[in-house]
Amino acid sequence: MSDKPRGIDPRGPRFTAAVTAVVMLVVVGLGLATPLGSSVTERATEPAFIILGIATLVFAWGAFAGVQRHPLGVVFRALIKPRLAPPTDLEDPTPPTFAQGVGFVITLTGSALHLAGVPYALTIAASAAFIAAFLNSVFAFCLGCQIYLLLVRAGILGRRKSRGAATA
């Protein structure tokens, strides 16, 4: 009569964060190497912008489809998780999904400001995403998850009641 525990392996988001940190570090390096003052067309075809654009789409995927369907989560479940011991506990997927939304907003804003010609906007956005991803991958500290929990405590965001609580 008990439902299978719902949640995600917390090592999945950490794997995703590690890959994201590496990608953001590449974007920061490429962004710093790009000369300022180029045209919109030149800015839109820069490697740093293209890579950040792909990362923004991946963040959107995780934010809107959920971390369970995130492309790097699929890679983790298919290639890495089978080689690991079972997790000691599961994590609520809502805070990491919210964190993907935060990453989406940050990288989308940096991309838009970069196209608008704001100097170093792309590099600053990628740096912010790098810091958050690094903290999660190395120290298991999810900055976006902490923001989510603060917003829940403040009453700005509400947690949905689980099905089990509604029938109990």
Q: 29-45, pLDDT tens digit by residue?
A: 999 988 876 789 999 99
- The amino acid at residue 156 is I
Nearest to 90 by CA among 12, 1, 19, 3: 12
pLDDT confidence of residue 6? 78
Rounded Cα distance, 126 and 47, in Å? 13
Q: Nearest-5° angle of CA 66, CA 95, CA 70?
A: 25
pLDDT in tens, 49-94: 999 999 999 999 999 998 888 899 889 989 999 999 999 999 999 9
Q: Which amino acid is at 8?
A: I
